[in-house]
Chains A and B, each alone.
Chain A
Amino acid sequence: MSTEFDVVVIGAGPGGYVAAIRASQLGLKTAIIERENLGGICLNWGCIPTKALLKSGEIYEQLSHLGGYGLSVEKASFDFGKIIERSRGVAKQMSSGIAFLMKKHKIEVVEGEAKLEKGSPSPKVVVALKAGGSRTIQAKTVILASGARARDIPAIGAVSDGDKIWTYRDALAPKAMPKSLVVIGSGAIGIEFASFYRALGAEVTVVEAVDRIMPVEDAEVSKAAQKAFEKRGITFRIGAKVTKVEKTKDGVAVSVEVGGKAETLIAEKCIVAVGIAPNTEGLDAIGLNLDRGHVITGKHGETNVPGLYAIGDAAGPPWLAHKASHEGIHAAEHIAGFKTPHVNSPIPGCTYANPQVASVGLTEAAAKAAGVDVKAGRFPFRVNGKAVAAGETEGFVKTVFDGKTGALIGAHMIGHEVTEMIQGFVTAITLEATEEDLHGIVYAHPTMSEAMHEAALDAYGRVLHI
């Protein structure tokens, strides 16, 4: 059968649209199918609009601390509707940017919902078009970038209704500012919403099943983060099992068990942020191998079905936009026969709460569990000149080295704008830097990044400013 396209990408999130651009750059005739908005969850209902909200929250919070800087305002206030409106505007702007990029790269955008059927040389793509009708596309290769959605837990009633029980999506565009909130899950999504709503004055309780918040982070960061959020008035229930989420007349009642003791948390709204479920329903019909819903892929994103690649959230954790984009580029290059060199980049993770948390590589505990002879270093921002001058002394930088080889294997930060700093360590780990490099590199002064230098020095007993 003749093929219409070299590559068809299903899903225009940060994995799919980047894969499409790369495929087009490599001379492949490419189409992309999207059922909702170009840019996917990331641009429309995730990474980007939440950052807009958090910025509003951060500025508002700062207004209450102006005295320390010798400034004052008459009376700080906010218009919740305008905050949400700004966030939606940012999402819209970014999404229309993707439309421009698709046009620029001559990628055909097909609006509709795709289904895969058996086909050759790749699965047949049947699109239920948004405009009505359907279109069947046979391409040489299909890249599945269908993403994921919020996970519900029906067994305990944690199912979003868009009114009292929210997913991230509802929390991004509510009609009114809630007075009180229970957030189930202390991962990046849960913590960011907790931070935003608390900054605007909501009573926020975060429930976490594990014995510490932000469980993927280094234990020291978890501890510091909890302290920092508690200082801002967020309350936590850690090691807490949610047994029931019930809607009441005025809001929700969330029943939890902490250390065998039952408790009911009452709030106006509840955000369920307990992970995601991949959008891979029905794919077993074409014989695709899945593992708990996630597509099983090889190192280039190839699947067991000929001509089908899978990338991003659909292909498994970590569920991060930059991981999806990276896989998308890699898959497109593999399809084009392009030999991608071995770049063994670790995937950083960022949480944009106030304070921010950023990390890459192994935590100290994970490194020790892997049998590494760990050398760890720490440096607090409270003795960093730039941080003191900016009045942003919360947090620290921690480095984890393999004591045997001197390789940097992990870095963990909490503090003001650390999400912009982590890239230095991502680069270092990717380029396989050792402690000699990190000690020898010149760090601009005065910057908060100097704490990165100090943390690397500290791991080897050479810290300068403590």
Chain B
Amino acid sequence: MSIDILMPALSPTMEEGTLAKWHVKVGDTVKAGDVIAEIETDKATMEVEAVDEGVVEAILVEAGTENVKVNAPIAKLAGEGESPAPPPAKVAPAAEAPKAAAPASAAPAQTAGETAAPAKPAPAAAPTGDRVFASPLARRLASAANLDLKSIPGTGPHGRVVKADVEAAQKGGAPRAAAASPAAAASAPAAAEPRKVQSLEQQGIPAGSYDLVPLDGMRKTIARRLTDSFRDVPHFPLVIDLEIDALLAARAKINHLLEGQGVKVSVNDIIIKAAAVALKRVPEANASYTPEGIALHKHADIAVAVAIDGGLITPIVRAAETKGLAQISAEVKDLAARAKSKKLKPEEFQGGTFSVSNLGMFGIKQFASIINEPQGAIMSVGAGEQRPVVKDGQLAVATVMTVTLTCDHRVVDGAIGAKFLAAFKPLIEEPLTLIV
């Protein structure tokens, strides 16, 4: 790798200066201690000495440039026998921030010309941050291989990522794109399928014997995200039966009493509320795995799976632990209605901390959902039905609902999941406690 020569600080308070003069040119060989440039501030002029040995590969800041930020790369030095340079950070005066790596600047600013929060969903290649220089073919190959361009060192001119780099990264196993950021993953155009599948014809299903529905963006996203999750997240189910007679009675009473106000609470609304309260009581279960550490979320943002034409979407009831049932009920109705007409805004379905999926209305007894990354767990709610139960050694009949919690073992161990369900169970079975 070549070495960046950085704009030096002539004093502890210096933030920028003028690069007055170069003493070297591209191709010159320098030794440590050679004077390579002169820097001016309003207070002083100083000589810059090389600290490394090598050949000047590029001069990044022209002589006479004012307002060069401290720690911005001003030239590149190629060491002997080293591979070509990484992508250079081009330096312009003041407007652009120093490279993120610069130790002095704690919070690297955004590059000039790019806004921090693009209004549109960001393109897959560069969701945020610095532009990645890559050839059109390299972009396409990286996208097909689901590789993050930013993680691929470019060996082309000015550190451009070229085809050969992507191919090398594929062999070397560079970090895969997406998944790290939920927003990027959800809004990213679908990448290619994660594995090669044989055609139906190759598998003995003749062409013409079926209708082919083209993959739309939602289907591709579902395919990619859930395949990634099921393959990459170590998941396991915890199953529990809950008696809901008291809950059904409470719900009937609430709906009866508040009928005049137009409130009609569903069982699912109560489950959302109970899950949120339980998550607050067992915060370890309201968590996300990241390579840097386990993120413990401060609020229980409950994503609710809603089946819509052509797929499903998970709108979010934010900070559900702080909301009353009437409000949760109203929000879910609104979100579900807008989900079905595909009018949700990205922020309304991206970034929940826990999911609830309910197939009870279809008579499904129990099922285990696939983790909705980066959430630590997802709750699958089956149908409430009358079942024989044993109470005090006697056979009795109760309305029972089976709930399955699929946990990401990287953050929610069995004991944490069990602790969460132990907190959840009384909230459902004695819904009065939800008020507390």
Contacts and interface: CB of A to CB of B under 8 A. Distances in A.
Partners in one complex: yes
Interface of A: 25-27, 336-344, 405-407, 431-434, 436-437
Contacts, number: 69
A25 B27 contact: yes
A434 B140 contact: yes
Given A27-B28, A336-B55, A338-B55, A432 B157 contact: no
Nearest to B54: A337
A431 B157 CA distance: 10
Contacts of B138: 432
A341 B86 CA distance: 10
Contacts of A437: 136
Interface of B: 2, 25-29, 54-55, 57, 78, 80, 82, 84-85, 135-138, 140-141, 144, 155-158, 160, 162-165
Contacts of A339: 2, 55, 57, 78, 82, 84-85
Contacts of A340: 84
A437 B164 CA distance: 19
Contacts of B137: 405-407, 432-434
A344 B162 contact: yes
B156 A342 contact: yes
8 contacts: A336-B55, A337-B29, A339-B84, A342-B165, A344-B163, A405-B137, A406-B137, A434-B136
A330 B157 CA distance: 14
Given A27-B28, A407-B163, A432-B163, 17 more contacts: A26-B26, A27-B25, A336-B55, A337-B78, A339-B85, A341-B84, A341-B155, A341-B160, A342-B155, A342-B157, A406-B140, A431-B135, A431-B136, A432-B136, A434-B137, A436-B136, A437-B136
Contact of A343 (B136, B157, B165): B157
A336 to B, nearest CB: 5
Contacts of B28: 27
A339 B85 CA distance: 8
A340 B78 CA distance: 10
Contact of B80 (A337, A344, A436): A337
A27 B56 CA distance: 12
Nearest to A333: B27
Contacts of A341: 84-85, 155-158, 160
A437 B158 CA distance: 21
Scoring A25, A344, A432, A437 by chain B CB atoms within 10 A of each residue's CB, the highest score goes to: A432
B55 A337 contact: yes
A341 B133 CA distance: 14
Residue of B2, B137, B158, B162 contacting most chain A CB atoms (<10 Å): B137
A342 B136 contact: no
Contacts of B141: 405
Nearest to B159: A341
A434 B25 CA distance: 37
A338 B135 contact: no
Contacts of A405: 137, 140-141, 144
Max count, chain B CB within 10 A of own CB: residue among A339, A406, A431: A339
A405 B167 CA distance: 13
A407 B135 CA distance: 11
Nearest to B80: A337
Contacts of A433: 135-137
B27 A432 contact: no
A339 B138 CA distance: 22
Task: Please name the 5 residue pairs, one residue from A and one from B, whose CB atoms are nearest each other, closest first.
Answer: A432-B135, A432-B137, A26-B27, A337-B55, A342-B155
Contacts of B85: 339, 341
A406 B144 CA distance: 12
Contacts of B140: 405-406, 434
A342 B55 contact: no
B276 to A, nearest CB: 46
A177 B361 CA distance: 97
A26 B137 CA distance: 32
B135 to A, nearest CB: 3
A338 B82 CA distance: 11
